[in-house]
Structure 1
């Protein structure tokens, strides 16, 4: 591509990033003088690109409001960032499109990468490993996600159609506080106006969302992310575990995060820990990893499991080593 044409495209790329650009700034970025910048602007105007001239001390050029530039132009590093974002988002389940659409978008960008950059990207993807398995979670509907995001911003109630874990459908009026991405899924947390209680709903189970007239006051207390993780930690499970641990909250949190346990100071130096769990077999190894004095207040099954675990450890430690 001739260099003047390349500079005109670069000028368009700079203007579509938003805001007003001074002639001096554009001249420096393009490596030309101010007169040449004005000539490039005239060429864009000849192509029906609505470039506006802004007068005044901080004047310059900007694109007309509402103009949609047909092509999106990425630099090498920008294209690489987008591709890695698509790969990471697909692995974590944090995309709002189906798997095929995600892969199609990545393939389109991959095809136009320069050969040297495409080769480096392939080498990176081949050498990249993840500590967790790829997410296979259902994606939320993009229109539902955008509608709820707009309602959160403007504090507007929404009517949603929701399907719970038992497959029951219901129509609800929600005052949405915020949208949270957690552990590969999307959630909306807010006040269920019909039931007058705070709820956290999975977005992939919301089939429809419609903004309603009116508004609601911003909630006080925890932010949306804290509400979601606290809700998981306090949800109803088969076992309710109560412990007392002589350790700092920071030490306990390194092994029992907020999504698993709630903490409250019991007495100086001791923390009361409450956990709700479907199974108990994972807890004895965690208690051993804490390496701090603890008391199991309940349930009795956990005491039995912990004694059995300690006995197995003692048996392993007493085995003679091999020569």
Structure 2
């Protein structure tokens, strides 16, 4: 950047990184002398940007607290990364507001240089995806951010929650991570998980939580989903390793436990109709432990497959 205006904007970008920046360091980064840095700072102040002068040995310049500057200065790589992130987040159903991705992309393209905005438009217009978009579940942005902050700061939260049966209750939980899975946001707690789109309101408490569980939040959510109290409890012993079996099962479907040369696959299901096909897809020998009625359903599927194969 050689033009003074570009350097003034570059100074603003450096100050937006936070903290107090020494005049000498700013001059070095901008390739100008210290007197010019002071002139640039005065120019920003004239534009209404709260640039504060800090005196003393470690003095320099900093931005006033809470200040945000809407226009962005992005490299090509940064702009493309933001655009792809917005598109993929929306297609995955993880953007809290349904139109947030579209409005954010529109704002991004408006503040980019014409050359880069045109190229980014070409990328968005010609991109295709092999995976279909997931329907978005409305998650409140405030709920997501409050729970994430509580998890980071090890604070309990109180939430207004509606369970899968439509029953509303007030709960106090100790979150330790938020997890994106299958188009939904979940909060991980010790023992179970909660869907964020079912939380109507949340408030952060002053009570601190205990030690962080050893279990990874993503693993905890998947295990919680696999052990949800549906009508049928399915238990099957499978000849294979934990890794082999887990690779052949959808994420969050089952809990797989090692048993010597076998593994035990445990899952919950509201209906057994789809379970035989999942077991057949493992392509590994298995023994049904429970429920008894699953044996006949597997036999019926095997009979139908044999009939179709011999047509």
Pick the TM interval, shorter chain.
Answer: 0.7 to 0.9
The answer to whether the aligner puts 1:239 opposite 2:232 as a matched pair is: yes
Question: Which moved further from structure 2: 243-252 or 117-126?
Answer: 117-126
1:128-157, Cα deviation, whole Å (9 max, x unpaired)? 333443233332222333333333333333
CA drift at 1:125: 2.6
1:268-315, Cα deviation, whole Å (9 max, x unpaired)? x21121122234444444434433322223334433343344444445
Q: Give the 3 Å change call, closer, same or farther, for CA 126–304 of structure 1 in structure 2.
A: farther
**Alpha-carbon separation, structure 2, partners of 1:76 and 1:213:** 41
CA drift at 1:244: 1.5
**Alpha-carbon separation, structure 1, partners of 2:106 and 2:197:** 26
Q: Secondary structure at the match of 1:120?
A: helix
CA drift at 1:68: 0.6
Task: Report how many aligned residue pairs link the two structures.
Answer: 309
8 Å Cα contact 2:52/2:63 also seen in 1: yes
**Alpha-carbon separation, structure 2, partners of 1:262 and 1:27:** 58
Structure 2 length-normalised TM: 0.82
Structure 1 length-normalised TM: 0.79
Q: Give the 3 Å change call, closer, same or farther, for CA 126–311 of structure 1 in structure 2.
A: farther
Unpaired segments ≥5 residues, structure 2: none
The answer to whether the aligner puts 1:298 opposite 2:286 as a matched pair is: no
Unpaired segments ≥5 residues, structure 1: 192-197
8 Å Cα contact 2:96/2:138 also seen in 1: yes
Question: Which moved further from structure 2: 19-28 or 251-260?
Answer: 19-28
**Alpha-carbon separation, structure 1, partners of 2:305 and 2:166:** 44
CA drift at 1:241: 2.0
**Alpha-carbon separation, structure 2, partners of 1:179 and 1:155:** 13
1:147-179, Cα deviation, whole Å (9 max, x unpaired)? 333333333333322222333322233333332
Match for residue 242 of structure 2 among 237, 249, 256: 249
**Alpha-carbon separation, structure 1, partners of 2:83 and 2:18:** 23
Residue of structure 2 equivalent to 1:142: 141
**Alpha-carbon separation, structure 2, partners of 1:53 and 1:212:** 36
8 Å Cα contact 2:249/2:282 also seen in 1: no
Residue of structure 2 equivalent to 1:91: 91
1:63-122, Cα deviation, whole Å (9 max, x unpaired)? 14515143332314333332322222222221233x234422322222343444334333
The answer to whether the aligner puts 1:275 opposite 2:267 as a matched pair is: yes
Residue of structure 1 equivalent to 2:175: 176
Match for residue 220 of structure 2 among 220, 227, 231: 227
1:233-282, Cα deviation, whole Å (9 max, x unpaired)? 01122332222211111111101255111122223x21121122234444
8 Å Cα contact 1:177/1:218 also seen in 2: no
Q: Secondary structure at the match of 2:150?
A: helix
1:19-74, Cα deviation, whole Å (9 max, x unpaired)? 45566764554344555445434543555542445766xx5744145151433323
**Alpha-carbon separation, structure 2, partners of 1:111 and 1:72:** 9
The answer to whether the aligner puts 1:157 opposite 2:156 as a matched pair is: yes
Q: CA RMSD in A?
A: 3.2
Q: Secondary structure at the match of 1:170?
A: strand
**Alpha-carbon separation, structure 2, partners of 1:123 and 1:318:** 51
